[in-house]
Amino acid sequence: MRIALAALLVLAQSIAFADTLTGRVVRVTDGDTIVVLDSAITKTRSDSRALICLKEAKPTARNPRQHLSDAVAGKFVVVEYDKRDRYERILGKVLLSDQDMNLEQVRAGLAWHYNKYEREQSSTDRVKYSDAEREARAVKRGLWLDANPSNQIQY
Q: Could you report the per-residue pLDDT of 118-149, keeping only the tens digit for each?
A: 888 899 999 999 999 999 999 999 888 887 77
Where are the chain's structural domains? 2-146
pLDDT digits (tens, 9 = 90+) for 58-78: 554 568 889 999 999 999 999
- State the pLDDT confidence band at 54, using cuts at 50, 70 and 90: low
Dihedral angle of Cα 101, 104, 105, 111, to the nearest 10 degrees: 120
Q: What is the mean pLDDT of the chain?
A: 80
What is the structure's pLDDT at 129? 93
Distance of CA 15 to the CA centre of its chain: 17
Q: Is the pTM of this model over 0.85?
A: no
Q: Give the C-alpha separation, 15 to 13, whole Å.
A: 5
Question: Quick one: what percent of the chain has pLDDT higher than 90?
Answer: 43
Between 74 and 91, residue with greater pLDDT:
74
If we measure between CA atoms, which residue out of 49, 94, 87 comes closest to residue 72? 94
At 17, the amino acid letter reads: F
> Which DSSP state fits 51?
E
Tell me, which fold does domain 2-146 have in CATH?
OB fold (Dihydrolipoamide Acetyltransferase, E2P) (2.40.50)
Per-residue CA distances from 105 to 40, 81, 88, 143, 155 (Å):
29, 18, 23, 11, 17
Distance of CA 25 to the CA centre of its chain: 15
